Structure 1
Amino acid sequence: MGRLIKRIQFVVGVALCLFCLDSTCQIDKESFEAFKAIIPQENIVLQANTNTILAGETLFYKLYCLSSTGKLSLASKIGYVELIGANKKNLFKHKLQLNKGLANGDFFIPPNIETGHYKLVAYTKWMNNNSANPFFQSDVYIINPFIPNDDSFENKELYADNLKEIKKTIPTVLQKNTDIKLETNKKVYKFRENVEITMSSLLGESNYGNYSVSVRKLDLIGVTDHNSNNKVDNYDEIKYLPEIRGEVISGQVLSKSNNKIVADMIVALSIPGSHYIYKNVKTDQRGKFYFNIHENYNDSEVIIQVLDKNKGDYNILLDDSSFKYADQLKYAKIKVNENTKDWLLKQSIHNQIESAYHNAKRDSIVFRSPNTMFYGNPTVKYFLDDYTRFPSVKETFVEIIAEAAVRKSGDNFSFKVYNYEELRNNVFKEYNPLVLFDGILIQNNLDVLDYDSNKIESVSVVRGIYFNGPSIFNGIIDIKTKKSDFKLPKNREAFGFLNLDAIKENKIYYNPIYTSEVSKLNRIPDYRSQLLWEPNLFFNSNSSTINFYTSDVKGVFEITLEGYSNAGKYIISKMYFEVGN
């Protein structure tokens, strides 16, 4: 597969150089067919902890990106998950880093969400090219007893399950698939008692794979019919590049004077911040540019600009990356039966108590390593707090920065980096340095020369000739503010802007441990209905165990193990246990 990925990357590079008359697509049809010959078609499967959920609860999900063989796909590195309402508005759009075809996430249902039918959709950009199945969808029904939705009282009906029928099955194991057997150390548990689940493979190594485990109280409500039709009536003919290294941001440069495409123009991208991202590329023969973002970043405003002294003469048009099929999703109105009123009230009170103690039950965020500077280590770095402060950037360079300077020529000012002795007569000696302010490319030096230096943390200088993408710079000047909050001047017509949401962070979900009678948790109420959500269970032995604790909620709880074996076989196992006081 490593050889395949290298081949894919090579074909991507070639495809970006090809000419295409259709300026609305990322790639032309000929290149797209070449991709299809070597990259397997992808299919997303999304597993959620429930399809019926109350406001104040959390929706958990696990994403599997599968190839046409049914095994996990290694092609796409970015997946997208959205929850869309009948009004076509997004409750959320998550961008996920796919790790060998796997990802997971969660969404807290806020108290201002109306009762209704929603669609959980998932896709990769490469999957969007499949006319028969461009995305995955499933139904989610949200109930909010505090915001009535009087016009949604027909068609779908939420009803009370017959708990007596479920209780009859305890302690019998109910499984849709018996390949992996589930057993608990007891059948009935007390409040805050340890539960141990033993998972046994009945078919040996053939069941080894990646699974999710959900332990959730059986709801009194369900949906009579929650099957979705994935058929698309109007397929979007736009062809998308596979995101095989990271997120692709693309667009086109046009001349303002005649609206013609501009080829061979260097375009720069900045994602500002303390650990910023800076890249530049050159437009192809149809004026298209492509940035591949594989580094970590926070939610940010992306800044794109043309590297040219007349940068204001060009328009930057960014490609639309939004979900194209929201208008084709079909919804039904739902009705909540009166006999669930008391249960809804009780459950909502439990959710409010859990919300009140949220700070004591926080999930842990998995730390992501900050980006290293693209230029490596600077020649020298000045921390301005170590020096006498001067009012402006210009004066700071005159009085403090020995390796660089500000030069005046007529009415213009320019930065200069003093090069090494052996490079002073180099053919690139007249080239300008790359000047960055919190990662934002500075082309008009007047924008920063009078900037208040008291807001600056450090100035780094890189000496020597630096090749960055298609650009050549005579040194680098990297200025960072204390708060990473530098803003461009108000005249922003020469720039392209894009609000970019960060990759959703990975979490270790809260799982209390009641091991001591004097535990500090004893004084904290515990009304969890979701006792466990483990999205990454790597089952690689014939038997494995997992532990968790019950809460202060009594009732029947369902254990669901679900996922795919390494061979691509779908497996689901279920069993039930009871919690009493």
Structure 2
Amino acid sequence: MDRLKYILYLALAFSSQQIVFAQKNNSVNELNEVDKKINESIYISTNANSFLTGETLQYKLFCIDKLANTASIFSKIAYVQLIDNNKKTVFAHKLFLDKATGNGDFFIPTTLETGSYKLIGYTNWMLNKTVPDYFSTDIYIVNPYKENPSGSTVSYNSVSSETVNNSNISFDIKNKSYNTRDLIELNVKSNSDEFTKGNYTLSVRKTDGFLVQNKAIFSGKTNQNGEITNSQFVLPELRGEIITGKISSANAEIKNKKVALSIVGKNADLKIVKTDDQGKFIVILEKENSNSNIIVQVLESGKEDYIIEIDKQKDVDFSNLTFPVVQFNSDFKQNITDRLISTQVENAYYDVKKDSVISPAIALPFFGASSEEYILDDFTRFPNIEETVTEILKGVYYRKNDNIYSIHVFDNNDNYESALPTMIIVDGLIIEDLNEFFAFNPKNLFKVNVVRGIYYYGSKSFNGIVSFTTKNGDYDTKLKGKFIVRPEILRPQVKKNYFSPDYTSNKNVRIPDYRHQLLWQPNIDLSKTSNSKFYASDVSGKYEVSLEGFSASGKPVFIKDFIEIKEEASN
């Protein structure tokens, strides 16, 4: 069975939007057979495994077929958590996967205690096992602003500084010694197309006595124990982000009721789904959207009779986690002092050294590009919504009966008008009670899109669409009730370009540069370029250059080399 067949099987299994099927032994057996084919596993590469508070943990996640080690073609969403030694979550991240990989970062606050932590990675599919099947690696954190917790132990070990080679792929570093703020250029060369087309992360970071232990490398061995169970089955996210919930009512029917989920903002999204016999509903968000302004509402007459509840993410069983003792080598005290000074200087200049967020491509709205679009600044501005609709929007009109507003769209056939309501949207929020919107200042509107004719979306039919977009993407509603909720749902991590200074001009010359992480490229594409250029910082010492990932055929790759940065001799 290929990916399409697996998805078809699972789609049919979930088509009733009920999970009771998984309680049947034969269904569970079938899912375990599917699991043998999917074979998902997670591996996470990090920029280091030991940190001071005030530093940043950077990581890249690989979702792989645990038998072939090739990129998994199934789950589109993965999760990363940092767990403390009390088995409490420090952070939880959701990642939209691109070619089975995703990356993120976490600034380590001074609220954390000195100790060992676990970095965990998994997909929803992996949570359905009797034995925890998540990825786990040790992370060590020192908080120099707090005393070590009572009972903790500090011991010493040595750190390997040997070069790691691979006969198929290697570094080509022109020089091994540089002065502070020199331009550094390195190449990655390979004698095999298989390795050139791999998926890798490139890191350059200072080595010092605070390196706790050698970095754990992917071994190819993963947990293959455990089976799919019938207890709290979690839907696999094969097409995108899944959000589930249910409606309830003391006196109204809960079957086949319409529920809308809106991501409100400039990059808005809207989904309309239908409940099953138990009032449950499933929303699938195929497009990556980190916006946290989410509103879920019932789209029914008598909506006040309904209560909406959004399901929480399934808790992960961390009972099997064990936490090693924090270990440092004998020079750790001076190195911690040096790194603390560097961290404080870097954080003091945060505003001029911020990473930049990569703005996601603005996706077409669900109604596509066939709408009539009105950029309101191209027209005379009117003082209210009534005149704006009447004077600017062709084929659109409003009514006011018994002090209740409504908006309507003429059909493509001028001699026909459907009795269906028009879908009215503002910044992705579907609106049924328009009185509040008609009090809105139209000067804050940017554009309006109009779609004519009968339109079927999700499980509901409309006579046309009128979609308003505000200038700031910040429309809000005062509508309240148990039929409309603003759930706190974990959002996907935003993509970033990580800061790197440029000393070709005088722009950054007077700004101190105390970086210990000179380069972090979580998605280096060797098929396009094997050349990386970056600048040394003001911190002298030995730096580790490492490349980690998987070849095109799934072979694990880890190579490392070293460069030296020296203080430039004064005249």
> TM-score w.r.t. structure 2 length?
0.86
Shift of 1:266: 1.8
Q: 1:106-117 residue pairs with structure 2 within 5 A? A: 106-117=105-116
Distance 2:412 2:530 in 1: 62
For residue 258 of structure 2, the aligned residue among 266, 269, 274 is 266
Distance 1:233 1:223 in 2: 35
Q: Percent identity?
A: 33
Aligned to 1:154: 152
Distance 1:536 1:414, change over 3 A: closer
Aligned to 1:345: 337
Distance 2:326 2:85 in 1: 12
Aligned to 1:253: 247
Distance 1:446 1:565 in 2: 59
For residue 67 of structure 1, the aligned residue among 65, 68, 86 is 65
Distance 1:348 1:576 in 2: 23
Distance 2:297 2:533 in 1: 53
Instruction: Identify the range of structure 1 (443-452 vs 350-359) with the bigger mean alpha-carbon deviation.
Output: 443-452
Distance 1:449 1:54, change over 3 A: same
Cα deviation 1:288-323 (Å, max 9, x = unaligned)? 221111224343231112221011222222222254
Q: 1:90-239 residue pairs with structure 2 within 5 A? A: 90-146=89-145, 148-155=146-153, 157=154, 159=156, 161=158, 166=161, 174-175=163-164, 178-201=167-190, 205=194, 209-223=198-212, 237-239=231-233
Q: Does structure 1 residue 485 correspond to structure 2 residue 471?
A: no
Q: Does structure 1 residue 300 correspond to structure 2 residue 299?
A: no
CA contact (8 A) 1:75 1:244 kept: yes
Letter of the 1:98 partner, please give it. Answer: L
Cα deviation 1:58-97 (Å, max 9, x = unaligned)? 2111111001321111211112112233455543322222
Q: How large is the RMSD of aligned CA atoms in angstroms?
A: 3.6
Cα deviation 1:212-260 (Å, max 9, x = unaligned)? 22221112124369989989999893222222221011122222348xx
SS in 1 for 2:2: helix
Distance 1:206 1:446, change over 3 A: closer
Aligned to 2:534: 548
Q: 1:392-431 residue pairs with structure 2 within 5 A? A: 393-394=385-386, 396-397=388-389, 401=393, 403-410=395-402, 412-421=404-413, 424=416, 429-431=418-420
Cα deviation 1:495-534 (Å, max 9, x = unaligned)? 133224443232333334545xx64333332222112222
Aligned to 2:380: 387
Aligned to 2:316: 324
CA contact (8 A) 2:113 2:149 kept: no
Shift of 1:535: 1.8
Cα deviation 1:435-454 (Å, max 9, x = unaligned)? 11222121223343334444
SS in 2 for 1:300: coil
CA contact (8 A) 1:158 1:336 kept: yes
CA contact (8 A) 1:278 1:439 kept: yes
Instruction: Identify the range of structure 1 (524-533 vs 173-182) with the bigger mean alpha-carbon deviation.
Output: 173-182
Distance 1:453 1:544 in 2: 52
Letter of the 1:531 partner, please give it. Answer: L
Gaps (5+ residues) in structure 1? 167-172
Cα deviation 1:157-210 (Å, max 9, x = unaligned)? 354747xx85xxxxxx62275543335333333222344434444677467522
SS in 2 for 1:520: coil
CA contact (8 A) 2:454 2:464 kept: yes
Cα deviation 1:506-565 (Å, max 9, x = unaligned)? 2333334545xx643333322221122222233459x95544332222222222222112
Aligned to 2:361: 369
> TM-score w.r.t. structure 1 length?
0.84
What is the number of residues matched between the two proteins?
Answer: 558
Distance 1:402 1:514 in 2: 55
Cα deviation 1:360-386 (Å, max 9, x = unaligned)? 334343332112222234335262783
Distance 1:575 1:110 in 2: 31
SS in 2 for 1:552: coil
Distance 1:110 1:379, change over 3 A: same
For residue 558 of structure 1, the aligned residue among 525, 538, 544 is 544
CA contact (8 A) 1:41 1:126 kept: no
Distance 1:21 1:552, change over 3 A: closer
Distance 1:31 1:56 in 2: 49
Distance 1:249 1:82 in 2: 19
Distance 1:312 1:291 in 2: 22
SS in 1 for 2:271: strand
Shift of 1:387: 3.2
Letter of the 1:343 partner, please give it. Answer: N
For residue 527 of structure 1, the aligned residue among 514, 517, 521 is 514
